[in-house]
Homo-oligomer: A and B are copies of this chain.
Amino acid sequence: MHSPELLSRRPVPPALFQAGQTESLETLFAGQVAENIAPGSAVFWEGDAAGHVFLIIAGCLRVYRTLPDGRRAILGLFYPGDLLGVSVRERYLVTAEAVSPVKLRRFPRRRFHQLVDETPHLRPMLLEKICDEMTAAQDQMILLGRKTAQERVVSFLLMVARRSGADARVPVEIELPIGRLDMADYLGLTIETVSREISKLRRAELIALNGPHKVVLRRMRSLEDLAELDHGESSSGGMERSGRAWAN
């Protein structure tokens, strides 16, 4: 959902020069120690006082909220380069947990906002990050509200492929960052449905599996058709629509 190449033409604010000290938001974190988070441990919990902003260096995190009766919804996945906890709120509204071994740097939240606010060329960068997050959230609302199980799973695979930088044509092998249960909670499905849809895709020879976490996308074009891409997330031009044209 982050397509930096399309957005990088920001109008640079005509303003005072800070002598090019901080080039980007990331450099704010350069002085902070890198921390390691083990898979399954939380960076922060829903309800915690929002003390820091985090820059992800390596690994993958899940951000989720839980209903009173235990149902869980994963609201986003965070990758290297993403900022976590930029919200203006005083408390985190979600829980953030490492999925794989994560490396990150933290920065006090208030000071972060203060620094960004004082640095003209950083302000639009923060706004853009947040707008990207908003766009991702909108894509997700469409997926959850209007896509079928199959479309959700395929959309997810394509999203992972895109984030892996694999715009490449034909057989792309991707590594799924999360397990089936996380996929289910991210896609608004059950673990069994996710598993079944993946099996169906495999039987249809649109994908192949090298273990449960390695997926080869064998026919990108067909997959893109199946995902019912809306314009916001296209990664290569699809042509005509085919109904559910393949075997069950």
Contact = CB atoms under 8 A, between A and B. Distances in A.
A69 B141 contact: no
A141 B137 contact: yes
B68 A144 contact: no
Contact of A145 (B127, B188, B230): B188
Nearest to A130: B130
Interface string A73-98: 10100000000000111000110000
Contacts of A88: 7, 10, 124, 127-128, 131
29 contacts: A11-B110, A13-B117, A65-B142, A65-B232, A67-B142, A67-B230, A68-B230, A68-B241, A72-B146, A73-B141, A73-B145, A75-B141, A87-B134, A88-B127, A89-B135, A93-B135, A93-B231, A113-B124, A117-B120, A117-B124, A123-B123, A126-B127, A127-B127, A127-B130, A137-B137, A137-B141, A141-B144, A145-B188, A146-B188
A66 interface: yes
Contact of A140 (B46, B71, B141): B141
B68 A138 contact: no
A47 interface: yes
Contacts of A188: 144-146
Contacts of A114: 11, 13
